[in-house]
């Protein structure tokens, strides 16, 4: 469904990604793991059209999409759930969710989707009128995921959803991701929690210093192998 080939991208004169090849199969969960600063967020930003592409290709369903605006990527059914959640703290939980359905084509379905989000995340329903800034870390992450889902994406790019969460909440977030996969959504998950990410994934990539250093079916990956890549630096 998503094919990234020989992608180069970075910030101004600084190139971060060096000929990155990543394939995300439809209905599968693909994870990209790797140390801090490896370029994981940069990769998601480049796919989403948030930073320019310096070289290579990004294809969605076979169509060339490198350089497509973020707006149009959303219209194509791709949603990003950013690192650090990026929720609007001085707006209510419900207003944040409705922000996810800003595009004209999603507005008609907004109330139905809102009800669906409250089924998925009952805690958010209880807190629907509360300011989002008052939510706990786990609830904030649920809100960020819920907001992304409001646009009815076919593919979601999730950036480090477990960051800073207590283990019990990490379990909850991964259970949510497993549920989304079971619904048939295509997921590209960036994580530093390698154990959990490999456990839920179909395919694993390791990104290191802007390069893919491992691409392997999750069932063939051993954590030992991952750790040796991490510590070989
Ligand atoms: N806005 C930015 N401007 C300049 N350099 C950046 C910016 N964001 C990230 N970088 C640099 O790009 C590299 C990759 O960062 P990032 O993609 O955030 O890594 P990761 O998500 O794997 O931790 C790092 O060296 C980082 O310092
Ligand atoms: Mg990052």
Neighbouring residues of the ion ligand 2, judged by CB less than 5 Å: 40-41, 83
Nearest atom (ligand 1) to Cα of 190: 21
Asked if pLDDT for residue 224 goes beyond 80, the answer is no
Residues near 63 by Cβ (< 8 Å), separated by ≥ 6? none
* Start-to-end Cα distance in the chain: 33
Could you say which ligand is closest to the alpha carbon of residue 35?
Answer: 1
Work out the mean pLDDT of the chain and round it to a whole number.
93
- The whole-number average pLDDT for the span 123-141 is 95
**Percent of the chain at pLDDT above 90?**
84
| pLDDT value of position 91 | 96
pLDDT digits (tens, 9 = 90+) for 41-73: 999 999 999 999 999 999 999 999 999 999 899
Cα–Cα distance between 157 and 188 in angstroms, integer? 5
Ligand 2 center to 165 CA (angstroms)? 16
> Which of 22, 161, 156, 145 has its CA nearest to residue 83?
161
pLDDT at 226: 78
C-alpha distances in Å from residue 110, one per residue of 25, 89, 98, 179:
28, 21, 7, 21
The CATH architecture that domain 1-77+188-233 belongs to is: 3-Layer(aba) Sandwich (3.40)
Which of 40, 21, 28 shows the shortest CA–CA distance to 1? 28
Q: What is the pLDDT of residue 233?
A: 54
The tokens for 70 are 């973020």
The top-scoring range by mean pLDDT among 81-85, 106-110, 194-198, 218-222 is 194-198
Where are the domains positioned within the chain? 1-77+188-233
Report whether pLDDT(228) > 90: no
In 3D space, the residue among 167, 174, 208, 231 whose CA is nearest the CA of residue 33 turns out to be: 208
pLDDT-derived band at 127 (thresholds 50, 70, 90) equals: very high
pLDDT on residue 232? 65
Residue-wise pLDDT for 156-165, tens only, equals 999 999 998 9
Partners of 203 in the beta sheet?
30, 217
On whether the CB atoms of residues 42 and 10 are closer than 8 A, the answer is yes
Can you tell me the mean pLDDT for 79-84?
A: 91
Residue 45 CA to ligand 2 centre (angstroms): 10
Residues near ligand 1 (Cβ within 6 A): 11, 14, 16, 34, 36-42
d(CA 41, CA 158): 10
In angstroms and rounded to an integer, the radius of gyration of the C-alpha atoms of the chain is 17
The residue contributing the CA closest to ligand 1 atom 10 is 11
Q: Of all atoms in ligand 1, which is nearest to the CA of residue 43?
A: 17
- Gap from CA of 96 to ligand 2 centroid (Å): 22
């Amino acid at each position: 469904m998503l094919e990234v080939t020989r992608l180069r991208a970075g910030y101004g004169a600084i190139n971060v990604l060096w000929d990155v090849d990543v394939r995300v199969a439809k209905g599968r969960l693909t994870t990209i793991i790797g140390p801090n600063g490896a370029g994981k967020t940069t990769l998601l930003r480049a796919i989403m059209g948030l930073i320019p592409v310096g070289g290579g290709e990004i294809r969605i369903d076979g169509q060339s999409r490198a350089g497509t605006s973020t707006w149009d990527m959303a219209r194509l059914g791709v949603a990003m759930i950013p690192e650090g959640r990026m929720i609007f703290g001085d707006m209510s939980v419900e207003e944040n969710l409705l922000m996810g359905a800003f595009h004209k084509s999603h507005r008609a379905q907004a109330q139905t989707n809102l009800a669906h989000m409250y089924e998925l995340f009952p805690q958010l329903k209880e807190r629907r009128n509360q300011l989002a800034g008052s939510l706990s870390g786990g609830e904030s992450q649920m809100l960020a995921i819920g907001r992304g889902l409001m646009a009815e994406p076919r593919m979601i790019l999730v950036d480090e959803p477990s960051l800073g969460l207590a283990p019990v909440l990490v379990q909850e977030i991964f259970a949510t991701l497993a549920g989304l996969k079971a619904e048939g959504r295509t997921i590209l998950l960036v994580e530093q929690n390698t154990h959990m990410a490999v456990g839920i994934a179909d395919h694993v990539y390791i990104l290191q210093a802007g390069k893919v250093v491992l691409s392997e079916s999750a069932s063939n990956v051993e954590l030992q192998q991952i750790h040796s890549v991490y510590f070989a630096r």
